[in-house]
Structure 1
Amino acid sequence: MAAAFASRAARAEADFLKARRLGVDAYPTLLLHTAHGTDHLGDPVASADALTHALGQHMATTDT
């Protein structure tokens, strides 16, 4: 039982470290992973309109 807990705790810690490296400082956060990297599109207070706008801007810059 202790080994299973330690394994889960290690995976959770690795996930939190990865989130920090990606610039996540609040949950939920919307990240867009592309061939060019990871873009931060939204945070916990982002509205659907703001997320749609951010995604549209991202798509407009990658279409050129």
Structure 2
Amino acid sequence: MAAAFTSRAARPESGFLKVRRLGVDAYPTLLLHTAHGTDHLGGPVASADALTRALDQHMATTDT
């Protein structure tokens, strides 16, 4: 029983470590995963307009 608890407890911790490596420090955060890596598009105070601009800008740089 203790082994099952230990293995389950490790899963959320590894998830928290992963998002920290991606630069996430607040929720919600919008990340865009591409062939070139992960781009941070917006965080908890980003408006819909700001997120749209960030995505449009990203798309414009990848369309060339």
Q: State the TM-score, normalized to the length of structure 1.
A: 0.90
CA shift digits 1:9-64 (9 cap, x unpaired): 20100001000110001011000000111000010011111100000000000111
Structure 1 alignment gaps of length 5 or more: none
Query: Which residue in 1 is equivalent to 2:13?
Result: 13
Kindly report the root-mean-square deviation, in angstroms, between the aligned alpha carbons of the 2 structures. Answer: 1.1
Deviation at 1:4, TM superposition (A): 3.8
Q: How many residues align?
A: 64
Query: Which residue in 1 is equivalent to 2:37?
Result: 37
Large movers: runs of 4+ above 4 Å: none
Q: State the TM-score, normalized to the length of structure 2.
A: 0.90
SS of 2:33's equivalent?
A: strand
CA distance in 2, matches of 1:27, 1:4: 29
Deviation at 1:7, TM superposition (A): 2.3
Identity %: 88
Structure 2 alignment gaps of length 5 or more: none
SS of 1:13's equivalent?
A: helix
